[in-house]
Amino acid sequence: MNTNELHSTDTIVIGAGPGGYVAAIRAAQLGQKVTIVEKENLGGVCLNVGCIPSKALITASHHFHQAQNLDAFGISVHKVEVDFSKVQAFKDGVVKKLTGGVGTLLKGNKVEIEKGTATFADANTVKISSSEGEKTIRFKHAIVATGSRPVELPTMKFSNRIIDSTGALNLKEIPKSLVVVGGGVIGIELAGVYANFGTKVTILEGQSDLLGGMDSQITSIVKRNMKKKGVEIFTKAFVKGAKEADQAVEVTFEINGEEKTLQADYLLVSVGRKPNTDQIGLQEIGVEIDLKGIIKTDKQCRTSVQNVYAIGDIVAGPQLAHKASYEGKVAAEAIAGEKAVVDYTCIPAVVFSEPEIAVVGLTEESAKEKGIDAKSAKFPFAVNGRAIALNQTEGFVKLITRQDNGVVIGGQIIGPSASDMIAELSLAIEAGLTAEDLALTIHAHPTLGEIVMETAEVELGHPIHIVK
């Protein structure tokens, strides 16, 4: 890259995560000349230090834990060992394969890839800085997809033993003990990984329950399973600070007015993520950003600067990879002159806990807040043939429907493969299907998917496999 080299493009995308790279590909498909800028690795946080590597470790930890608990199937394993370096190598291989695939897709769609840090000079110009020099790119439209980073607390600065989620994913050894500050999705998932590997895990959560006040029927199942693995959970715990030593870290917290301390090999701080909207010149060109760093956008992902769009973790709504990808398509299509607009009625969310949690649409409470007369129906995994054969019978499917016409408006699943099962309920909401539509759909037997059909039959008042 030569200093002050000048280039031009139709659409520049800043950030190559699941929002940015999808936006770039869709824009290219619609005939735009596209340049994508990434300062670190293609795939962004999700593919490199988020969704994908965490699921690889979760899978490995599940296999280890299951191998130690096969007696119910009549299988005895005398010695199960973990080579954590090989576990990490497996995780890294998964990441490498997927990030390489992103590069292939971008090049296959003729998207120009620029490595470096982008800064807006004005509403039509971006400067890209890297170790090779500086490049200036003129553009007609921009899509900002810079994602987010872990929140760092003043009393718990990140270091060798006070780590964020990235650090937790890249430990060289399985710690003997781990304190997790924050009982949200990331904290719960990583706590589960290391608990499965035999780490003594303690969770400190400031709220009254884990997972942001999710349905207590759901969180109670997750907590019960974590406690079975020796995880200690403190809620309404105010963490005051931490001190790091060579081989350990000491955490001080207050609960019920009493101050306590804990020592552990590592302290994972997982208290949220901060949007990456600073230091790239957005406010200088007139992009409106609120006090939390969130960019204000319209229904086509357009910011207050008409030719600049924003998607993903830097705009309002849940910080989910699939939401970012969806918004990326909308922004690209809006730039191309299509009438695409965002519709957030149906965004599924998944927690890869044990068992898995997946939710979509409205709950009974949120439906009531919107003035919708709704009802719910629930069916347990405990009487499903496939769940029994898997020896994974905890959990349920809950269906939320309109009282007057039975249209599906929400769903909650906790149980094995909830992350896959939620797709059917998402489609039902998106398509405006009714409980009767689900009940009349023939589901293969024996499968976990049958539970959706059975739940719909409960809603209709004629369940087959439970007594009404």
CATH number at residue 396: 3.30.390.30
* Among 381, 427, 371, residue whose Cα is nearest residue 403: 371
Same domain, 43 and 78: yes
Judge if pTM exceeds 0.85.
yes
Q: What is the pLDDT of residues 43-54, one digit of tens each?
A: 999 999 999 999
Q: What is the pLDDT of residues 333-344, one digit of tens each?
A: 999 999 999 999
Provide φ and ψ at 447, rounded to 5°: -140, 160
Contact 294, 300 (CB under 8 A): no
CATH for 191: 3.50.50.60
pLDDT at position 245 is 85
* Confidence band of 6 (pLDDT split at 50, 70, 90): confident
Q: What is the pLDDT of residues 128-167, one digit of tens each?
A: 999 888 999 999 999 999 999 999 999 999 999 999 999 9
Same domain, 227 and 256: yes
**Domain count of the chain?**
3
Q: Is the pLDDT of residue 274 over 90?
A: yes
* Confidence band of 246 (pLDDT split at 50, 70, 90): confident
Same domain, 11 and 139: yes
Q: Compute the radius of gyration of the chain from its Cα atoms.
A: 24
Q: Specify if 263 maps to a domain.
A: yes
* Among 198, 221, 200, 195, residue whose Cα is nearest residue 209: 221
Same domain, 84 and 183: no
Does the annotation flag 432 for ligand binding? no
Does the annotation flag 304 for ligand binding? no
Q: Is the pLDDT of residue 1 over 70?
A: no
The count of C-alpha atoms lying within 13 angstroms of the C-alpha of 358, restricted to the half-sphere facing its C-beta, is 19
Q: What is the pLDDT of residues 390-401, one digit of tens each?
A: 999 999 999 999
Does the annotation flag 188 for ligand binding? yes
Q: What is the pLDDT of residues 415-464, one digit of tens each?
A: 999 999 999 999 999 999 999 999 999 999 999 999 999 999 999 999 99
Same domain, 263 and 287: no
Same domain, 190 and 264: yes
Same domain, 380 and 425: yes
Q: Specify if 341 maps to a domain.
A: no
Same domain, 368 and 327: no
Same domain, 261 and 280: no
Residue 440 belongs to domain spanning: 349-460
Q: Is the pLDDT of residue 5 over 70?
A: no
Q: Specify if 343 maps to a domain.
A: no
Contact 435, 456 (CB under 8 A): yes
Give the ranges where 345-449 is alpha helix by DSSP (H): 364-369, 385-390, 418-431, 435-440
Q: Specify if 465 maps to a domain.
A: no
Same domain, 241 and 131: no
Would you call 343 exposed, middle or buried from its count of C-beta atoms within 10 A (0-12, 13-18, 19+)? exposed
Active-site annotation holder among 7, 445, 462, 465: 445
Does the annotation flag 147 for ligand binding? yes
Query: Has 445 been annotated as catalytic?
Result: yes
Of 335, 364, 387, the residue at which a domain comes to its end is: 335
Does the annotation flag 183 for ligand binding? yes
Does the annotation flag 371 for ligand binding? no
> For 3-7, what is the mean pLDDT?
71
pLDDT at position 4 is 64
Q: Specify if 426 maps to a domain.
A: yes
Q: Specify if 146 maps to a domain.
A: yes
Same domain, 35 and 131: yes
Same domain, 420 and 301: no
Q: Specify if 342 maps to a domain.
A: no
Contact 370, 339 (CB under 8 A): no
Q: Specify if 466 maps to a domain.
A: no
The SS3 assignment for 393 reads coil
